[in-house]
Amino acid sequence: MSISSFEDRRLRVGRAPTGNSLTSLVAEQIPLNVKQRMVVEKVLSDALAWAEHPFDSSRRKQMLLCIMGEGGTGKSQVIKAIVTGMDLLHRKKEVILTAPTGAAADNIGGNTYHTSLGISIDRSRATSTTRSRIKRLWERKTIIIVDEVSMMDLTMLSMINNHCKMAKSLDRNSPEFFGGLPIVIFVGDFFQFSPVRGPALWRVPRLNKDEDEIGQLLWHQFTQVIILDEQMRQTEDLSFRDFLLRARSGSLTSNDLSLNSKAITSLADPQLEGAMTVVKRNSIRHMVNRIQMEKFARLRNQRIYIYSAIHTRTKSTGPGNIRLRADDLLQQPDQGATIPFPGLFLYSTGMPAVILTNICTALGQVNGAAGTAVGVVVDPSDYKGQGSTLASAILDLKDDPTIRGLDRHRKFCSTYVQLSRLRSSEGLHLLQRLDMKDLQFEPDPRLLSEIQRLQELEKQTMAAWEGDKRREVHNKSQADERPE
Ligand SMILES: Nc1ncnc2c1ncn2[C@@H]1O[C@H](COP(=O)(O)OP(=O)(O)OP(=O)(O)O)[C@@H](O)[C@H]1O
């Protein structure tokens, strides 16, 4: 898309755009299917309706909208389209895009909600400097979009609500939700990763945790729901799409073990060039990284430089002054928190890499961002894959019962998220052969009842939106007929 074509569309917005006319202009740049279009049109027509008085709650209804949909149904596409529509109106600055992790935020060109709202990682109170920075940032904001809400916990939702009030200079006890922002949009898929800390939005609050209770109360205010259901990622490979649907409903059968034909025999296979490897354990990551690094350097006739490195993200349990030879270190599996000695950093010029910490969110240097020549070759954890689309990948779907803290639901999510990144089965490769027990994880039954509740809300939302649209068309035609 050239700038001039965007400017040309801007000129075509005219003096009195409607949600419909604006969405048509957006769709020239960002294709939208029927449901995607319906959502974009509704959001843009609301934004047009209260443009002059966004914070006067007596003249507009607050929209608390939840956009759900399985991986690849085009949720990120809807986010892009809303932002583009606001950009056409010269109102892009009113939109704030956030997500629970740096990688997820980077995927939509936003920031983590921690950064955007001044929520510290330990969830302590914001300092006065942070408060003034946030207030400045939020001065003109009217729309917040939070992506990947499956990773948000109930307490965090309550905190986001409080911090939005602070950002909009409202009292903590104000009854306004989310600082009275006219539009709050949550986007995600609960079949993908759950929060690391507290209960997901669909789970029951923890006992004696008031913040969880408030979080649940807030979640239940999201009564406008749209569930995108047209698969836009796996459009070319229908049998892979069916396989994914079985994976999503936890109904894979022994026939699906035919997947084992995708098991790789060697990471050095030339047809795996460019395929990302997604693994669950650091020890496997370490091994894969070394093999890929050697392959990379050999192909380019380059040296590999080996640096001893400190694991800044883990607590070293052993003495820090052990002297080890590089050869000894190379034999050590990198087991995360239990390693008693420094780690190793292998470097070869131009190697593909993934950043493991948030360095500068404004520049997209966030945990999970991919680049070249600054790290090691594989994606080190399945959490970082969420939100991306891959043409080719080597997946580690083998269940590892020794990984602690992962319940069956999380294992189910891990398998589904890894598989659903791919466009087709052609690009799918397995790191290890599977047994039936590796495929037998199911979604939590409580999630299934939440999905039913959301489906019911979707029916009501669609009926209400259709009514609104009929009224809008009727009012417009009456206004057009009225003499000047
Ligand atoms: N209406 C559309 N027409 C053509 N392609 C589309 C459309 N909507 C989405 N896509 C493409 O389909 C793929 C998946 O879309 P997107 O990433 O928006 O899905 P998602 O629901 O956000 O997925 P996930 O939950 O995995 O993050 C992308 O490559 C996107 O460009």
CA of 188, closest atom in ligand 1: 25
Q: Is the pLDDT of residue 275 over 70?
A: yes
Whether 203 is in a domain gets the answer yes
> What are the tens digits of pLDDT across the range 317-353?
444 444 445 555 555 555 444 444 456 667 777 877 7
pLDDT at 316: 44
- In this structure, which residue's CA is closest to atom 31 in ligand 1? 77
Residue 233 alpha carbon to ligand 1 centre in Å: 6
Least confident of 6-20, 155-169, 431-445: 431-445
Q: Does the beta carbon of 189 sit less than 6 angstroms from any atom of ligand 1?
A: yes
Q: In this predicted structure, what is the pLDDT of residue 27? A: 96
Same domain, 223 and 360: no
* Residue scoring higher pLDDT (28 or 58): 28
Please name the residues in contact with 212: beta carbons below 8 A apart, sequence gap of 6 or more. Answer: 153, 154, 155, 158, 198, 199, 205, 206
Q: Please compute the mean of the pLDDT values over residues 146-160 and round it to a whole number.
A: 95
Computed on alpha carbons and rounded to an integer, the radius of gyration of the chain in Å comes to 24
- Which protein residue has the closest C-alpha to ligand 1 atom 3? 31
> Would you place residue 120 in the very low, low, confident or very high pLDDT band (cuts 50, 70, 90)?
confident
pLDDT at 362 over 80: no
For residue 127, pLDDT over 50 is answered with yes
Asked if 184 and 69 sit in the same domain, the reply is yes
User: The CATH number of the domain where 376 resides is what?
Assistant: 3.40.50
Among 123, 191, 180, 115, residue whose Cα is nearest residue 146? 115
Considering the domain architecture, whether residues 192 and 285 belong to the same structural domain is answered as no
What are the residues facing 96 on neighbouring strands? 144
Name the closest-CA residue to atom 1, ligand 1.
32
For residue 187, which atom of ligand 1 is closest to its CA? 22
Q: Classify residue 316: in a domain, yes or no.
A: no
Same domain, residue pair 298 and 224: no
Q: Is the CB of 188 under 6 A from ligand 1?
A: no
Answer whether 391's CB lies under 8 Å from 126's CB: no
In a shared domain, residues 215 and 265: no
Q: Is residue 233 within 6 Å of ligand 1 at its C-beta?
A: yes
User: How long, in residues, is the chain?
Assistant: 484
User: Are both 168 and 123 inside the same structural domain?
Assistant: yes
Torsion, CA 333, CA 282, CA 262, CA 405, rounded to 10: 130
Question: Hey, which of 128-137, 282-291, 364-373 has the most confident mean pLDDT?
Answer: 128-137
CB distance 387 to ligand 1 below 6 Å: yes
Say how many domains are in the chain: 2
Task: Assess if residue 329 is contained within a domain.
Answer: no
Q: Does 363 have pLDDT greater than 60? A: no
Are residues 458 and 429 located together in one domain of the fold? no
In a domain, 73, yes or no: yes
Ligand 1 binding pocket includes 391 (Cβ within 6 Å): no
Q: If you average pLDDT over each of 53-57, 443-447, 448-452, 479-483, which comes out highest?
A: 448-452
- Which whole number is the average pLDDT over 223-243? 90
Q: Report the pLDDT value the prediction gives residue 190, as an integer from 0 to 100.
A: 94
313 part of a folded domain: no
In short, whether 180's Cβ falls inside 6 Å of ligand 1 is: no
Q: Which of 32-41, 48-57, 265-274, 378-387 has the highest mean pLDDT?
A: 32-41
Q: Report which of 381, 392, 386 is spatially closest to residue 274, judged by C-alpha positions.
A: 392
For the ranges 156-170, 263-277, 382-396, the lowest mean pLDDT is seen at 382-396
Q: Please give the distance, rounded to the nearest whole angstrom, from the Cα atom of residue 401 to the centre of ligand 1.
A: 33
Residue 355 pLDDT: 65
When pLDDT is cut at 50, 70 and 90, the band that residue 155 belongs to is very high
Q: Order of strands across the sheet with 276-278?
A: 276-278, 393-395, 428-430
pLDDT for residue 95 is more than 70: yes
pLDDT of residue 126: 67
d(CA 484, CA 472): 20
Question: Does the Cβ of 367 fall within 6 Å of ligand 1?
Answer: no
pLDDT, the chain, mean:
82
Pairing label, strands 276-278, 183-188: unpaired
Q: How much distance in Å is there from the Cα of 338 to the middle of ligand 1?
A: 39
Of the listed ranges 375-379, 395-399, 404-408, the one predicted with least confidence: 375-379
| % residues pLDDT > 90 (the chain) | 37
**What local confidence, expressed as pLDDT, does residue 369 receive?**
65
pLDDT band at 376 (very low <50, low <70, confident <90, very high): very low
Q: Is residue 166 part of a domain?
A: yes
Indicate if ligand 1 lies below 6 Å from the C-beta of 72: yes
Output the CA 32–ligand 1 centroid distance in Å.
10
158 and 57 assigned to the same domain: yes
Best residue among 32, 41, 150, 232 to mutate for probing ligand 1's pocket (most ligand atoms within 8 Å of CB) is 232
CATH of the domain at 41: 3.40.50.300
Identify whether residues 151 and 12 lie together within a single domain. yes
Q: How confident is the model at residue 452 (pLDDT cuts 50, 70, 90)?
A: very high
Is 165 found in the same domain as 245?
A: no
Helix, strand, coil share (%) of the chain residues, nearest 5: 45, 15, 40
In this structure, which residue's CA is closest to atom 5 in ligand 1?
232
Q: Which two tokens stand for residue 387?
A: 């939100």
Range of the domain at 222: 3-231+449-481
Question: Do 51 and 176 fall within a single domain?
Answer: yes
Q: Please give the model's pTM, rounded to 2 decimal places.
A: 0.80
Q: What is the residue whose two structure tokens read 């993200």?
A: 313
- The predicted model gives 453-482 an average pLDDT of 87
Strand, helix or coil for residue 439: coil
Residues 355 and 405 in one domain: yes
Among 97, 80, 106, which Cα is nearest to 361's? 106
- CA 101 to CA 383: how far, in whole Å? 9
Mean pLDDT of 10-37: 95
Coil vs helix vs strand at 364:
coil
Q: Whose CA is nearest to atom 24 of ligand 1?
A: 71
Tell me if 317 is assigned to some domain: no
Share of the chain above pLDDT 70, in %: 81
Cα of 351 vs centre of ligand 1, distance in Å, is: 28
- Above 50 in pLDDT, residue 380? no
Pairwise CA distance, residues 335 & 206, whole Å: 31
Task: Tell how far the Cα of 392 is from the centroid of ligand 1, in angstroms.
Answer: 17
Residue 125 in domain: yes
Half-sphere exposure of residue 151: CA atoms within 13 angstroms, side-chain side: 22
